[in-house]
Chains A and B, each alone.
Chain A
Amino acid sequence: MSDLITCVLRESIRRRGRFAANVFGYLLATATIGVIVGLASTSRNSADAVLGSTGTHFMVFAPTVCPCSQKSTNVEGAGDEGFMAGVAAVNLIPANLATEIKNLPAVADASPYLMARLHSKSDGHAFAVGGFDVRNGLAVGVTCCAPSDLVSGRFLTPSDIGLVMAEEAYAKRHGLDIGDRLVIAGTSYRVAGIVNSGIRPAKADVYMPIEEARKVAAARLPGTDLTSYATAVLVEVKNAHRQEEAFTSVKSLFPGLVISSYACYQPAKQVMGINEDAFRALGAGITVFILFMVMHSQIAVVMERRREIGLLKVIGWSDKDVVQLLFAETLLQAAAGVVIGCLIVLVIAHLGAVATALSGGVIALSAGLPLLGGTMTAIVAAWKAARVRPGEAIRQI
């Protein structure tokens, strides 16, 4: 083994130019793969971070016009007041459905929601009261309202008593401001915050804790205990890729319930798919091209040494002796290039010259592919060396 190492190092040192050229080829392949894959990975991760959460929410409820599932309760409202989910009239559903939905693999979060349409006693206008779990931030925030929607005042907290938030449009219509009082179902509430929740499936006019909303609704329907009920479950999915999985899971779990969502997860998912495909194609194309060039160069160099290989065989070196020499030389060049290339990638990432996501996978890919190419080249080079016929080789000038 030491003789082999000596011969390999000797060839590498004595033919410095050729050695350096081949090492540079592998270095370039490694560094290029690392930087480009790292860049593409960063870009993809950034895109996924945005797109992954696009349209990944929906609402589950039991509309009154559909056959009720076993889990819903048909409770009539008073007059045209009643229970809602968005713009649909609904039956009540058990609040603990949220817990069951939350436990589904594709679901990130779920929360019970109670919305009631009421009429004002003062002027008879209709308004919607939305009761949400103030402790929940994720599902409520994407389907109903979030602290980031605040226009003025503050968001409700779990310890609040007698406080509500008003939707900005409703507040403007009725001249409401922070600190003003609202009487709902005979109870006076103070406006703590005004929000603009944009377009969300659980958008209401007035928001309050779900416990308070149950009391308000019950006041309209004396004798009705709404403690463990909701009108909808607000759901946030883990990412756009799993939206449909979540739909399927909910539907199979609760047949008869309706799912209402925005379909914007579909283009998001499509774009993510395009990004992923482009990323793979780019990485694969560049890798194949660079490796091909390097491998071709190395094998060409081996063929230039046909006469020397033939000479070694003439003086009595076996095919095995020659093969192991060529194999080791070629692999050494690949390994040296890969190691230096990885160091360059690390330096580039460390210096922040290029924003690269240097995960273990990127490093492994940067090192692994050139090394694999180098190994294949070494095998081909060794095979070609084994096929050299000594008499033929030394006859060549």
Chain B
Amino acid sequence: MAATVLECRNVTKSFLIRGATVQALSDISMSVSQGEFVVVTGRSGVGKSTLLSILSGIERLDSGEVFFDGQPLATASNQELASLRRHSFGIVFQALNLLPAWTAFENVESSLLFIGVPKDERRDRVMQWLGRVGLAERADHLPGELSVGEQQRVAVARALIADPAVLLADEPTCAVDPETGREILKLLLHEARAKSKTLLLATHGAVPPEADRMLRLDAGRLE
């Protein structure tokens, strides 16, 4: 039986928006095993993105516990969480979230900066990944010079280049055309299966048939 790589217990998270408290997650308990492909589904606004943010340490939870490889994230420092995201998590966002003043090459390279990867190695790895996503010739182009689909492929390359153990994809195909969406999913799945990576995919659309398990969120609670 595969080890549990991600786990949350009784997680609650709310946001204060214009003076009103919005409950994003209520008493969420779930776990994901290594190499598992789990789809988190539900309508827009039910807390899918929040759940992924909590699991990756981007957001701090209000109450409950979150574990990565048995290590509690709630008490981890910002430095530790950043290191975790740098080395263990590959995150693909719903919004494209590329640095607008950096080229495709530089955006992908940003995941490898300041962690001791030599420049030549960085270059090779970045070009390899840009080649895998079909954008090797567009390496010097800024995000504004790329289509939405191309930008998302750059974001995928950025997420995967550090060889993370866990892939978190928050509606990665919602902003792109169906064909590009299928290519992106195919790439993520291939990477996950080939290297026994854990893949957590949040979507409000159809659940991919390859998914090992589905978790359905409704109003911040797991059904």
Chain A interface residues toward B at CB < 8 A: 2-4, 7, 10-11, 14-15, 308, 311-321, 390-391, 394
Query: Which residues of chain B have C-beta atoms less than 8 A from A320's C-beta?
Result: 79
- A394–B97 contact, CB under 8 A? yes
Chain B residue at smallest Cβ distance from A15: B101
Query: Which residues of chain A have C-beta atoms less than 8 A from B114's C-beta?
Result: 3-4, 317-318, 321
Q: With A315-B86, A316-B85, A394-B95 given, name 7 new contacts (CB 8 A).
A: A14-B102, A312-B99, A314-B85, A314-B93, A317-B114, A319-B78, A320-B79
Residue B87 interfacial (CB < 8 Å): yes
Residue B33 interfacial (CB < 8 Å): no
Q: How many B residues face the partner with a CB closer than 8 A?
A: 30
CB < 8 Å neighbour of A315 from B60, B91, B106: B91
Q: Mark B52-70, 1 if CB is under 8 A from A, else 0.
A: 0100001110000000000
Given the interface pairs A311-B99, A312-B110, the reply to whether A318 lies near B58 with Cβ below 8 Å is: no
Instruction: State the CA gap A3–B99 with chains docked (Å).
Output: 16
Residue B151 interfacial (CB < 8 Å): no
What would be 17 A-B contacts, judged by CB atoms less than 8 Å apart? A11-B101, A15-B101, A311-B99, A312-B110, A315-B85, A315-B111, A316-B84, A316-B86, A316-B111, A317-B82, A319-B78, A319-B82, A321-B113, A391-B58, A391-B60, A394-B93, A394-B97
Chain A residue at smallest Cβ distance from B115: A316
- A10–B58 contact, CB under 8 A? no
Query: Which residues of chain B have C-beta atoms less than 8 A from A15's C-beta?
Result: 101
Q: Mark B73-116, 1 if CB is under 8 A from A, else 0.
A: 00000110011111101010101010111100010001101100
CB < 8 Å neighbour of B79 from A3, A315, A318, A390: A318
Chain A residue at smallest Cβ distance from B54: A391
- A314–B99 contact, CB under 8 A? no
Instruction: State the CA gap A394–B93 with chains docked (Å).
Output: 10
CB < 8 Å neighbour of B58 from A14, A308, A314: A314
Chain B residue at smallest Cβ distance from A318: B82
Instruction: State the CA gap A314–B97 with chains docked (Å).
Output: 10
Residue B153 interfacial (CB < 8 Å): no
Query: Which residues of chain B have C-beta atoms less than 8 A from A11's C-beta?
Result: 101
Smallest distance from the beta carbon of B89 to chain A beta carbons, Å? 8
Chain B residue at smallest Cβ distance from A7: B113
Chain A residue at smallest Cβ distance from B109: A3
Given the interface pairs A308-B99, A311-B99, A314-B91, the reply to whether A391 lies near B59 with Cβ below 8 Å is: yes
Chain B residue at smallest Cβ distance from A319: B78
Query: Which residues of chain B have C-beta atoms less than 8 A from A14's C-beta?
Result: 101-102
Residue B158 interfacial (CB < 8 Å): yes
Smallest distance from the beta carbon of B86 to chain A beta carbons, Å? 3
- B101–A316 contact, CB under 8 A? no
Smallest distance from the beta carbon of A264 to chain B beta carbons, Å? 66
Closest 3 CB pairs of A and B: A316-B86, A391-B59, A14-B101
- A319–B79 contact, CB under 8 A? yes
Instruction: State the CA gap A314–B162 with chains docked (Å).
Output: 14
Query: Which residues of chain B have C-beta atoms less than 8 A from A319's C-beta?
Result: 78-79, 82
Chain B residue at smallest Cβ distance from A312: B110
- A391–B53 contact, CB under 8 A? yes
Query: Which residues of chain B have C-beta atoms less than 8 A from A7's C-beta?
Result: 113
